[in-house]
Amino acid sequence: MARNDTMAQTGLDDAAEAPYRRFNIPANGFRNYWNPILPAAEVGRKPKPVRLLNEDIVLFRDAGKLFALEDRCPHRGMKLSLGSCDYAGSGTISCPYHGWTFDGASGQLVAALMDGPDSPIVRKVAVKSYPVREHAGLIWVFVGDMAPVPLEDDLPEFIADQVTFFSIVRYCDYKANWRWLVDNWPHDHHGPYVHRTSPELLFQPMLPFGMTVTTTPLPNDKGIAVDGVNGITSGDYAGLGTFPRNNWWRCMTPAGRGKTEGFETSAARRRYGIQHQFETRLPGMVVVGRQSGEYCLVQWATPIDETTTRCFNINNWRRHGTLRGLYDRAHYYLWRGWAHDGTFSGQDKRMVEGLVPGPERLSKTDAGVIAWRKYAGAHARRAPEQDSLRHRGAA
């Protein structure tokens, strides 16, 4: 059941859609991309239902392979995810209702158990089969209307190259449209304000604000790099006073995520050739580097449906031998997992779930948001046919 990515289907009302419709950014997510949907450890032999870009999908494993099928038997409409993999090694799943058995790879009906072995309907029916991969501890599914691109095409290099890097992932579901999460990410200046009490930035100066945001397209339609310059960390506001207030305890120098100035002379660029510290990429993620170049955080907004988004925090460390790896893991589980993926991201979650969709009044600090929306709508991968339709429509 392919669904097109026009706006017509959305349940969100006109005012709520307005900021996205003009840029052609669909409510249920950009199709024709790989998205992570679950940690690999959460899917076993027992079929597992998931929703992705508003499509219901069943995931299962058999004989060491992973499969993703449309979660509805075409016979009478039963959820395949209530069924089971009765024939180990065959890579099939059987519908719990009448035993229609589908090949996990092709989606073809290979047996209709209750029709008997000589049923003529076999191989005349199929469910939609989704390209699916396991990589970096995650399960990735391609929902689209075209042949899938190689998975690596859609992964940041920090995730793609698991020889050079290793990853630890945490995820959380937001009761919010995916676009509201992604709008957070092209330096929209919520950071210094929302996270000013974050433990990860404790004792550090404020993140700079009032910056001039510039964006640079990345090669190959990957997304945009976002840079902010000329920021301040304190200001006097007429009639109000200073912001931030009670700043005396911010006595450290910037470090870690807090260190955002001077990336051009950083080890990340000198030693590893990393060009930008902040990139917002298609289909909807942010890549946040460190000036050391040894670590990188990717936050990925996977659209579940119009009102739910699964946000993955993918932490990536450069591999430097066993001891350093153990240290990095310990540091994550003892500190960063709580300080960032729990607390810092929890601050974002409270914001994004508190949004009331409708008209907007954007300002200087939204330059990155506007650039992202324009870029994303124009550069998102589309199936060839859709793409030509789009261009005809625009002509």
For binding to its own copies (CB under 8 A), which residues are involved? 56, 71-72, 74-79, 82, 86-87, 90, 92, 96-99, 101, 110-117, 119-121, 125, 183, 188-190, 192-194, 209-210, 232, 235-241, 243, 245, 350-351, 354-366
The nearest distance, CB 94 to its own copies, in angstroms, is: 9
For residue 304, which of 51, 71, 132 has the smallest C-alpha distance? 51
Q: What are phi and psi of 19, to 5 degrees?
A: -65, -15
Question: Which residues, in sequence order, are CB contacts of 365 under 8 Å at separation 6+?
Answer: 187, 188, 189, 209, 210, 211, 213
The nearest distance, CB 54 to its own copies, in angstroms, is: 14
Of residues 264 and 360, the one with the C-beta less far from its own copies? 360
CA trace torsion 217, 222, 224, 227 (10° rounding): -100
Of residues 16 and 132, the one with the C-beta less far from its own copies? 16
- Residue 314 CB neighbour total at 10 angstroms: 25
The nearest distance, CB 356 to its own copies, in angstroms, is: 5
SS (H, E, C) 84-132: ECCCCCCCEEECCCCCEEEECCCCEEEEEHHHCCCCCCCCCCECCECCE
Of residues 246 and 253, the one with the C-beta less far from its own copies? 246
Of residues 18 and 151, the one with the C-beta less far from its own copies? 18
For strand 223-229 and strand 212-217, is the pairing parallel, antiparallel, or unpaired? antiparallel
Of residues 48 and 269, the one with the C-beta less far from its own copies? 48
Of residues 6 and 242, the one with the C-beta less far from its own copies? 242
Of residues 80 and 159, the one with the C-beta less far from its own copies? 80
- Residue 283 CB neighbour total at 10 angstroms: 23
Give the integer Cα–Cα distance in Å for 214 and 278.
11
CA atoms within 13 A on the CB side of 176: 22
Give the integer Cα–Cα distance in Å for 379 and 300.
18
Q: Which residue is listed with tokens 């004989």?
A: 63
The nearest distance, CB 298 to its own copies, in angstroms, is: 23
The nearest distance, CB 391 to its own copies, in angstroms, is: 31
The nearest distance, CB 33 to its own copies, in angstroms, is: 25
221: which strand partners?
Answer: none
H/E run at residue 225: strand 223-229
> Tokens standing for 264?
């051009």
Of residues 12 and 389, the one with the C-beta less far from its own copies? 12
Of residues 94 and 386, the one with the C-beta less far from its own copies? 94
Give the integer Cα–Cα distance in Å for 323 and 332.
14
The nearest distance, CB 143 to its own copies, in angstroms, is: 18
CB 281 within 8 A of CB 218: yes
Question: Which residues, in sequence order, are CB contacts of 192 under 8 Å at separation 6+?
Answer: 206, 207, 208, 209
The nearest distance, CB 140 to its own copies, in angstroms, is: 25
The nearest distance, CB 202 to its own copies, in angstroms, is: 19
